[in-house]
Structure 1
Amino acid sequence: MTPWSKVSGDLQLKGLSEPKVINIKAEHLCKAIQEYIQLMLAHGGELKNLISELLCIANNLDKVSKGTKIAGITGGASSVVGGVAAAAGVILAPFTAGASLAITVVGAGVAAAGSVTGASAAIVNKANLNQDNKKIKKNLQEFKDVYEKLQSCLKFINEGIDLLKHHGVSLLKDMMDENMMDSEKAASGVELAVGEASAISSQSSISASGMLDGFAIGMDYYFTKDGKKVKKGLESKLAKKLRTLGEDLELGLKELNDTKDVFSQYV
């Protein structure tokens, strides 16, 4: 989109009449609104999916953290039970002609199984968290890239509405009433500028970008220096932060969709 400063400068150089200037500005505004709608149609689903992935990662972190703790407890208990059974088998062997050695074998097997359970959980935990670290960073960047495009478009629209209002709402309404608009696009732009829906804000986009940047910086607290695993005991805390971020982004996305719906009434 051509910056408003350049549009206004070009119009001044041409020495156009005020109604003509209004028409040109209104057309630029309408084009920006159409671009915003197209961006939302093209990327709204993508933003929703990225939020869902962040929430899924949070759930996964909780499950892995809980599963590892349970596996550790289960594995430890199995090892204790297996150790007791093995000891009992050895002690009873002289009195049972060696028949109790079967208990020793079973006990050793249970103990080994307990160790494997704990070790397997630890391996799965590490693998999952390694993948989640990469996914989180990728999702945050992709979300931010799309959000900044929407933010830029909304900023342009807000500036355009303000520039039209500087000509005076009464003049804009008179031009509409007297059919002085050069095109349907120009009419739509002016209609939006003088309507109740003109107070569109890009604050949600700005806040979302700030949240994403802040979260990305805070990631170092939860992951080790090499970024390969979550620091011990911080899995559930990271999950909570991710879930909060996801919920905030959902609210921001709803605002953007609501804005799209409002714009769709004018173009």
Structure 2
Amino acid sequence: MSHLEGKSPDERRAALFTKHGYTLQKKLGQGVSDVAFLVNNLEEDLYVIKEINCRYESSDTVKKEVDIIKHLNHAYIVDYEDSFEDREAGLFYIVMEYCAEGDLNKRMQTQRGNGFKEEQIHDWFVQICLALKYLHEKNILHRDIKPQNVFLTEYGYINLRCLIALERADQYTNSGVGAELYDSPEVFKGRYASKSDIWSLGWLLHDLCMLDVWSDILERRFLHAISMRGTPPDISEKYSEELRELIKEMLSCDPNERPSVDDILAKPFLNDSVKKYKKIPEALEQKFMKSIRAFDQAYNKHYIELEILVSEWAKATDSLEDIHYKATAGSLSGGVIGAAGGITAVVGAILAPFTLGASLIVTGVGVGVGVAGGLTGAASNITNTVKQKSLRESLEKIEQTYKNASAPILNSLKTLKQLMKKIAKFCVFVSASTLDNAQMAWRVGRSTVSCVTEIMHICLLANIGRIGAQAAKIGRAAAAASGVLSGILIIADVAFIVKDSMEIHEMRNTKTTNDPEQFKSSVLRSIAQMRKTHQELCNVLDEIKNTREELKEYIEKAGTNTWTHDSADT
């Protein structure tokens, strides 16, 4: 039976997300055949999961689409992260990059009555064109360009979502999809080519200039209908003649008369925006610099403290093992003595009738020995209970202090990881010649784009994720250790003498090991887990230190603010 069977749709979805490492936060929106959800992964990074109902789109079509989009890597295209499906429910899920500022359609709705400045329109339009150029060069058609598929990031640039039935552009396709009011004349005739994307983009550009036309949907439909007959819509004269003329060219009914993406990007009036967005956006660069400085400050303030705490963790582990060893040994000693005394007393009592009371002396001795054994075990118990309490308090203090000291470093590294993933997407604007000289270009301050390849060579993305995962283990290990301290029992019963002696033997043979699987005793397994955690924390310290060393030059430049924001050679 499936673990999802018998659950409600919401419970089923949440359980499926959890299974794949995501936690559902909220529903973002719903279309005809899909629903969008905001989720976070185990590292608390936010993503969007698109739920596609395969009753409307065949599973094979969706999988074909995923095979295309998962290989896309561009600064202005939404990143694909993961995918999975619920076959029984006929649902397919695509995990994508989250864009914090919503889509362009919502921004257009809030801007009505004021209109956008032409410079802002140029910037958005050029970014979409750069994304479309990347797709067309790969012989991929978008086929659904509309404001709802253009997303705004917190750093001021856009991301184009590529999700709706992507097809190869090496020939006309037989069917068209997308919003009807952005479809070209040839799409209604059952054909689609790269110039069909240009038509859709032309209408998007029109809508950015003429926001108020959407106040009357019938008017918008009428304008689209007459454009299909060769009458392009009018554009407000507050916008430049070059922009108005470009929209007319893009909305030509003859696909051959429409400009290509390369033709558009070569327009002189767009030069400034093209130059501006063929590199890392300034807001993203500034955030990266700020995060570099934050990491350096956290490192300088807390790293030595972390080294001391990890050392104390090792000492606490040794102390715990020592306490357990002595407690078990004390228990065993007391138990053996008590057992010997008990046996002597029993023997004396049995022999009394035959020895005319002489054996009662033996019984008395046996009782005395038994009492001594009990006192030995009790003394061991009292002594080690005091030690346990002190050690448990020490562990709890180490754990809390470690959390406080590690949080600033780990949080700054997490931010750096997120930013570097975004920066990596701008590698597409670094030419082959720049790639070969990326390190030198960075050092002389020619371009921040060049830093992308150098950062990727450092492999910090993997390092930072591993650091966070390992550092989190100290809390779990500390909790386990406290349980061990609370649960160590000083056994004085004769029946457990053999068990105690076996455990001492086990401790002697495998002392200081960090492999919990080597032990049968739950206490010894916990101690081994603490040793293993100590080793992992040492690895964390090494990786944090190595990460700072790798970032040393960037830290120096961030501190002196010597980075430049020039365009890379393309």
More displaced stretch, 54-63 vs 160-169: 160-169
Aligned with 1:204 (options 466, 470, 478): 466
Distance 1:75 1:240 in 2: 27
Aligned with 1:229 (options 463, 476, 486): 486
- Find out whether 1:166 has 2:435 as its counterpart: no
| Deviation for aligned residue 1:164 | 3.1
Structure with the largest fraction of helix: 1
SS state of the match for residue 528, structure 2?
A: helix
Cα gap change, 1:173/1:59 in structure 2, threshold over 3 Å: closer, same or farther? same
Report the residue type matching 2:460 in the other structure.
I
SS state of the match for residue 381, structure 2?
A: helix
- Find out whether 1:242 has 2:530 as its counterpart: yes
Contact 1:151-1:206 within 8 A present in 2 as well: yes
Partner of 2:32 in structure 1? none
| Deviation for aligned residue 1:24 | 4.4
Cα gap change, 1:230/1:49 in structure 2, threshold over 3 Å: closer, same or farther? farther
Cα gap change, 1:263/1:190 in structure 2, threshold over 3 Å: closer, same or farther? farther
Structure 2 alignment gaps of length 5 or more? 1-98, 102-151, 159-272, 345-363, 490-520, 557-570
Contact 2:317-2:527 within 8 A present in 1 as well: yes
More displaced stretch, 111-120 vs 128-137: 111-120
Cα gap change, 1:235/1:57 in structure 2, threshold over 3 Å: closer, same or farther? farther
Aligned with 2:551 (options 254, 263, 266): 263
| Deviation for aligned residue 1:198 | 4.8
Identity of aligned residues (%): 17
Cα gap change, 1:27/1:198 in structure 2, threshold over 3 Å: closer, same or farther? farther
Cα gap change, 1:236/1:199 in structure 2, threshold over 3 Å: closer, same or farther? closer
Partner of 2:284 in structure 1? 25
Structure 1 alignment gaps of length 5 or more? 85-103
Contact 1:137-1:216 within 8 A present in 2 as well: yes
Partner of 1:87 in structure 2? none
Residues 233-263 of structure 1: CA deviation (Å, up to 9, x unaligned):
7543322121111111211221111111111
Q: From the CA coordinates, give the structure whose radius of gyration is larger.
A: 2
Residues 33-83 of structure 1: CA deviation (Å, up to 9, x unaligned):
122122122212222222222221221122112212333344456668899
Distance 1:20 1:245 in 2: 42
More RCO (CA 8 Å, sep 6+) = 1
Cα gap change, 1:56/1:185 in structure 2, threshold over 3 Å: closer, same or farther? farther
Aligned with 1:49 (options 308, 325, 333): 308
Distance 1:210 1:76 in 2: 41
Cα gap change, 1:111/1:194 in structure 2, threshold over 3 Å: closer, same or farther? same
Distance 2:471 2:296 in 1: 20
Distance 2:447 2:550 in 1: 12
Structure 1 residues 102-141: aligned runs within 5 Å: 115-141=374-400
Report the residue type matching 1:169 in the other structure.
V
Structure with the largest fraction of strand: 2
Give the TM-score, by structure 2 length.
0.34
Partner of 1:91 in structure 2? none
Partner of 2:401 in structure 1? 142
Distance 1:61 1:217 in 2: 14
Contact 2:288-2:416 within 8 A present in 1 as well: yes
Report the residue type matching 1:170 in the other structure.
S
Contact 1:62-1:235 within 8 A present in 2 as well: no
SS state of the match for residue 50, structure 1?
A: helix
| Deviation for aligned residue 1:21 | 5.9
Residues 205-231 of structure 1: CA deviation (Å, up to 9, x unaligned):
3312542454356567x35xxxx7224
